[in-house]
Amino acid sequence: MSDDSTGIPMILPEEQAGQRLDAVLSQLLPETSRSRIQTLVRDGRILVDGVVEKPSARIRGGEQVEINWPEIEPSTWLAQDLPLHILYEDADILVVHKPAGQLTHPGAGHADGTLVNAVLAHVPDNAYLPRGGIVHRLDKDTTGLLVVAKSEMARQSLIDQLGDHTMHREYLALVMGPMTGGGRVDAPIGRHAHDRLRMTVRDDGRPAQTEYRLVERFPRHSYLRLRLATGRTHQIRVHMTHIGHPLVGDPVYGGRMMVPQGLDEVALAHWRQFRRQALHAWRLRLYHPESGALMTWESPLPADMTELLTLLRDARDGH
């Protein structure tokens, strides 16, 4: 299966003389994003009068363009009939809610049972898309919203939106320690020098920015709303730990569990049963790849995090 069915040479319009090659081609190929066209040009897969050009080359008009679309091999990941919580679906995208305990993609020791295995059963053609059409991920024990592309055009559009920060991903989290207000963490993230399973703030890491706002404060904890400006691995978990407010229940970055004051034995037992990072991807906002319409979805806080908030409020208010 190829990116596009057409193999017919195109003639560049003379009325667009002086414009950039990638800009003109993106108008002639509306199903293919500009960044995808730039990649094809740089890879030598687009020839202008038989010559490899740069994406920024200015056209004269009348040139003949030939495109060598790459063949895409289907994924070897299994399609599995697993539960799939769909919030929205059309011909271009699929928006789903990922539960706690499920990986987004197969990895070492986890060949199946992941979100993408469920997606491939629901949309078999996604086997021809890189990573099954999923362009961003959530950690295994983070719940919430993910968008899945159902075509290469949609996939490239979503990747572009992630790159230029027009896709907004907002999270809800419970962290340890009382906070006085919101702020922004701007600290590069890279792999930990001694523990390959952990990420850390380091000077030579990749740029990472997280904005956070205080929703509710408790004597020993804080309830936050966060927005990602970038999407590094474990970003929220690492950044919150970096500023001294690790996520409640985080098994990797959380350290010793901070228990609310005033819990009775039953409430304390419920609190200690929470064994994942208290992080939920609750809002997703993006521009539809085909129509350009701004779309927003929200996913309610899961029951286990709702119970933590109830315990915190009861302890604070003396119930």
Which residues are known catalytic residues? 139
CB neighbour list of residue 114: distance below 8 Å, 6 or more residues apart: 102, 103, 104, 105, 106
How many Cβ atoms from other residues are within 10 Å of residue 171's Cβ?
23
Q: Which two tokens stand for residue 124?
A: 């078999």
Q: Which two tokens stand for residue 93?
A: 């995208």
CB neighbour list of residue 171: distance below 8 Å, 6 or more residues apart: 144, 225, 226, 227, 228, 236, 279, 280, 281, 282
Strands, E assignment, 179-293:
183-186, 189-191, 199-201, 209-217, 221-228, 279-287
Q: Which residue has the tokens 């970003």?
A: 235
From CA 314, how far away is CA 123, in angstroms rounded?
Answer: 45
Name the H helices within the chain.
21-28, 34-42, 115-122, 152-163, 235-242, 265-272, 303-317
